[in-house]
A = this chain, B = another copy of it.
Amino acid sequence: MEGKHATAEEVARAAGVSQSAVSRAFTPGASISAPLRARVNAAADALGYRPNAIARSLITSRSRIVGVVAAYLHNHFYPSVLEALSRELQARGHQILLLTADMAQGADATLDTLLRYRVDAVILASVTLSSRLAQACRAAGIPVLLFNRTTRAPGVASVTGENRIGGRAIARHFVALGRRRAAFIAGVEDSSTSRERERGFLEGLAEAGLALHGRQVGGYRYDGAAEATRQLLRQRHPPDAIFAANDHMAIAAMGVVRHDCGLDVPGDLALAGFDDTEPAAWPDIALTSYAQPAGEMARRAAEALLSMLDRPALTVRRQVVAGRLIIRGSSQAA
């Protein structure tokens, strides 16, 4: 592998300048005259020299790598998030080291990898590991941001959608439609997203003097949500409305309600999800959903994280990005 890449020394020799001049020419904001920079650039181009991001990271203690820990790419919200995060971080000169944290792998192994690659900062978008991993990163001095989740631990920055407000909006929508037997399909029980969405949903029902008519856990999985729906429909008085904690589970519920049970949506049962992923808008799905703007959330996350990197003393913020209820055919016939 040696000799494949031109070195800064070779560029300095070819340009007839010092190595320090080469280094300054490639350091954003460093002091160097325009003619000197031009001479260095010409020599660098001729030799095919590129400043080595990894070697530089040893000097600056900056790798310009952000670790992104994700899971559940099957939920279509996360591919959109990943695409947006990648775009926002690349625009700010950082690249994503992607870790898809398997639940089996655990927080320690994941932290170990993040530390070995000396990531500058970490975005946690994985459901189960977030709280422990966030604390471990903070203990190791790495700025960390929770994406689409929060933790009870203090001092951890986060960007989320309007989980509680959204849950409440869906309850009010069901109530306005005259539904009186509203059920909830939870995601992963200890996830902040599922807890907050349920909390808002219960508040919205309580405003109309209603209690939850049924509750099952779908674990944010398609199969889990399908089974949860079957359980709900087996009740003596089945629900007339179901709110599933994300679109992916709501679509699973729709399949069971319509195709296994032969019921009409929304006639017999109104359905709503959360996230407003692309499939929710497909005419054959037409799912009512509370939108989370993935692009705006990613932009805020990238900005917040890189600010923390530049100014470690910055006050940690929990940002909530506004969404809105999108009503479609699954709850209200056109």
Contact = CB atoms under 8 A, between A and B. Distances in A.
A96 B98 contact: yes
A310 interface: no
A74 B90 CA distance: 19
A234 interface: no
A58 interface: yes
A98 B65 CA distance: 10
Nearest to A256: B283
Nearest to A265: B284
Contact of A102 (B1, B87, B99, B102): B87
A53 B117 contact: yes
A248 to B, nearest CB: 9
Interface stretch (A108-116, A161-169, A184-192): A108-116
Given A68-B98, A98-B98, 10 more contacts: A1-B61, A2-B61, A54-B57, A73-B80, A82-B98, A90-B100, A96-B98, A251-B284, A255-B282, A279-B279
19 contacts: A1-B61, A52-B116, A53-B117, A65-B97, A74-B80, A74-B278, A76-B79, A79-B79, A82-B98, A82-B100, A90-B99, A95-B117, A251-B282, A254-B284, A258-B283, A258-B284, A259-B284, A279-B279, A284-B284
